[in-house]
Amino acid sequence: MIVLGIESSAHTFGVGIVTESEENFILADERIQYIPERGGIHPRESSRFLAEKAPMIIEKAFEKASLRLDNINAIAVALGPGLGPCLRVGATVARALASFLKKPLVPVNHAVAHVEIGLRMTNLRDPVIVYLSGGNTAVIAYVEKRYRVFGETLDIALGNLLDTFARETSLGPPYVVNGMHVVDRCAEGGRKFIEDFPYVVKGQDVAFSGLLTTALRAYRRGEDIHNICLTLREIAYNSVLEVAARCLMHTRKKEVMLVGGVAASPILREKFAKMVEEYSATLGVVPPQYAVDNGVMIAWTGLLAYKSGVTIDLKSAFVRQRWRIDEVEIPWR
């Protein structure tokens, strides 16, 4: 079985083609990323970029896989969550392909796809999943046919916190240099913690917008930027760590998986490595190339879903900007 997957939920247009084969299951992995000249991602501008690049990326993927269009068994597409205009680019392309090739269309939840490609890459079986990216911060665990959320951010995502702080203080973009976030790097020069920064964990949820405001205020009143970065990242990372540790204890799982763009942080990884040791658990980290948005994760999840009989009618294949991970039935586990 061969499945093509399309990702376009924010800044990346990705096309992946995968098979069931144990090794070399990736036949193609093509992607292109929209990088705004300044500021954050503007959905409409990003979607225009994605739409412009889509045909080229699809063509490249078929070339790379040495396949003809009709060799594909199904088309999978990320229908949410994400930015509406961006999601619609992928959905339109996928519907057109499915209709033209007369192949089934498989709806994929972007967050589920991050988890599934993570499991495929780390060989973990049933971990507590810590999903950290520019748009998401959640601690998730599989319980009774669903990936359930055991804690999440009440306002902005961890990646958004780091990127926004970097942008406002001219540390970035680029936000990640040589595999390390610029805030992480700047924090290395920090010597002391600043007292009044808020550490917010409410029940199992975290919140970062107060922390961002406080950090920016400290920057404007002339506090040392290294000390600000150190305080900011320690508070942010430790609050996620606390929630994840409680989930591990509560679910009695024996594995933790870090996934999403922020999972690449070596500092965060070190903190988690120490934590899992205390609980005699194992840590798995998704390789950076597959921790960020890509088409392979959509294709792989699409393949799992399609094998379990999940397809969607072209007429009902609309995007869902706020499609939560815990709304998705997982029949393949």
Q: At what angle do helices 158-168 and 209-220 cross, to 10 degrees?
A: 20
Tokens of 189: 């020069």
Closest to Fe ion by CB, 82 vs 104, is 82
Could you tell me which stretch among 54-62, 143-151, 228-236, 285-293 binds Fe ion (CB under 5 A)?
Answer: 285-293
- 29 contacts Fe ion (rule: CB under 5 A): no
Could you tell me which stretch among 48-56, 149-157, 207-215, 288-296 binds Fe ion (CB under 5 A)?
Answer: 288-296
Tokens of 326: 């815990």
Helix (H) or strand (E) holding 15: strand 12-19
Q: State in angstroms the smallest separation of the CB of 114 from Fe ion.
A: 6
The annotation places the binding site for Fe cation at 110, 114, 131, 293
Q: State in angstroms the smallest separation of the CB of 82 from Fe ion.
A: 8
Q: State in angstroms the smallest separation of the CB of 136 from Fe ion.
A: 7
Closest to Fe ion by CB, 83 vs 276, is 83
How far apart CA 76 and CA 85 sit, in angstroms, is: 18
From residue 125 to residue 164, the character string flagging contacts with Fe ion as x (rule: CB under 5 A) and all else as - is --------x-------------------------------
Closest to Fe ion by CB, 133 vs 227, is 133
Could you tell me which stretch among 145-153, 161-169, 174-182, 290-298 binds Fe ion (CB under 5 A)?
Answer: 290-298
- 293 contacts Fe ion (rule: CB under 5 A): yes
Closest to Fe ion by CB, 109 vs 133, is 133
Q: State in angstroms the smallest separation of the CB of 159 from Fe ion.
A: 9
- Cβ–Cβ < 8 Å for 117, 146: no
The annotation places the binding site for substrate at 131-135, 163, 184, 265
Q: State in angstroms the smallest separation of the CB of 100 from Fe ion.
A: 28
Residue 51 per-residue DSSP state: H
- How far the first Cα of the chain sits from its last, in Å, is 19
- Dihedral sign, Cα of residue 88, residue 94, residue 96, residue 102: negative
- Cβ–Cβ < 8 Å for 79, 109: yes
Residue facing Fe ion at closest CB distance: 293
- Cβ–Cβ < 8 Å for 264, 179: yes
Residue by residue, DSSP assigns 140-190 as: EEEETTEEEEEEEBSSS-HHHHHHHHHHHTT--SS-EETTEEHHHHHHTT-
Q: State in angstroms the smallest separation of the CB of 10 from Fe ion.
A: 7
Residues at the site binding Fe ion, with contacts judged by CB under 5 A? 133, 293
